[in-house]
Every structure is written in C-alpha cells, then in structure tokens.
Amino acid sequence: MKHRLYIISGPSGVGKGTLVKLLLKEDESLALSVSCTTRKPREGEKDGVDYFFLTKEEFLKRVEEDGFLEYDEHFGNYYGTPKSFVREQMKEKSVILEIDVVGALNVRNRCGEEFSPVLILVIPPDEETLVKRLEGRASEDENALRERLARAKYELSLKDKYDYVVVNDDLGATVKRLHEIILAENAK
C-alpha cells in the first residue's frame, strides 16, 4: 500500500475541520500535516501541534530554500505547508492537508511530480445550507458573511479541477465516503 497526500478543501462553514478530525479518529494510518506560520501563537496553541511558529526571517529563508509545498499570506502573516514535514510523515502514513482551493491547486502545479496529491473538494448540499451554517457562527457580521459567501462561490466554481467532489449532507456518511476514497487511492 502506498502513502499518498490528500488535500481537503472546501468553503468555510462546510464542516471540513470536523470531517478531518473524524477521519483521523477512524483511521490511525492517517496523519495531519502541520503548517508553518509567522503569526503569534494563540492561548493554548502548541508549537509543532497547531502550527510550527516561525519568525518572518525564518519563514522567508525557507521560502528561498524551496521548503514549502505552497505558502500564502493571510491577514498580514505568512502560512505555508512544510515539505520536509510532509515528506517525513509520508514515509509512515498517508497525509491529510486541509488548505484552501488556491493552496491546493498551487501544490499540484508546483510539486505535483514529487507529491502527486489527490484533491478532494467538500461542498455543501446547497447554498441555503451553507448560509445557515455561516450564520450559525456567532462571530460573523453582515459584511464578513457576504465576503465568505462570495469566497465560497468562487471555490465552488473551481470544482472541475478536483479529483473528487464530496457533498457533505450527513457527517457520518461523508466521513465514510472520504475514507473509501482514501482506501481506494492508497490501493492503486
């Protein structure tokens, strides 16, 4: 059985985080990729668990050394997927990477040859469900909600670029479907 890199993307509010947690619980032969960031740790966050926390200088040095599968800037901080960490993990396990659509396509374009990632897009059953889920997040004001919806529509418009598109209509069934995809791809 081969170890593969699985990239799971989907609009915010679609339930990716929960799905990935359940998937890792279900199958111990899967590992989660840990990203690097230049933002400061939040309370309770641990280095090497939630993120690898780097200084801006350390991060940019790694960029120069081609040390990231992909990286991006969000809210004034850098975030990236470390190649060496993913490589090490893949010696033992298949690796799950949860990043946005742009990041996922960057990995395929920049490092497709070495990592040959399987791209999986998780989508909501319909727009109404997505809006409800986004509204359920207490922190969202009207503008943030509109922005996230526009972003979600953009992400959904790229679905043809994905290897698999999975509708998250029922948490248990969706985890099962994701696991089936992983088992089938690992067996190829």
Contact residues: ligand 5GP, CB under 6 A: 35, 39, 70, 72, 74, 79-81, 99-100, 103
Please give the C-alpha separations between residue 81 and each of 44, 123, 180, in angstroms, as whole numbers.
21, 23, 25
Nearer to ligand 5GP by Cβ, of 35 and 174: the residue is: 35
- State the Cα–Cα distance between residues 57 and 109, nearest whole angstrom: 26
Provide, rounded to whole angstroms, the least separation between the CB of residue 180 and ligand 5GP: 25
Ranked by CB distance to ligand 5GP, the top (closest) residue is 35
Provide, rounded to whole angstroms, the least separation between the CB of residue 80 and ligand 5GP: 5
Sign of torsion over alpha carbons 33, 90, 6, 179: negative
Nearer to ligand 5GP by Cβ, of 100 and 155: the residue is: 100
Helix axes 171-187, 16-26, angle to 10 degrees: 60
Provide, rounded to whole angstroms, the least separation between the CB of residue 177 and ligand 5GP: 22
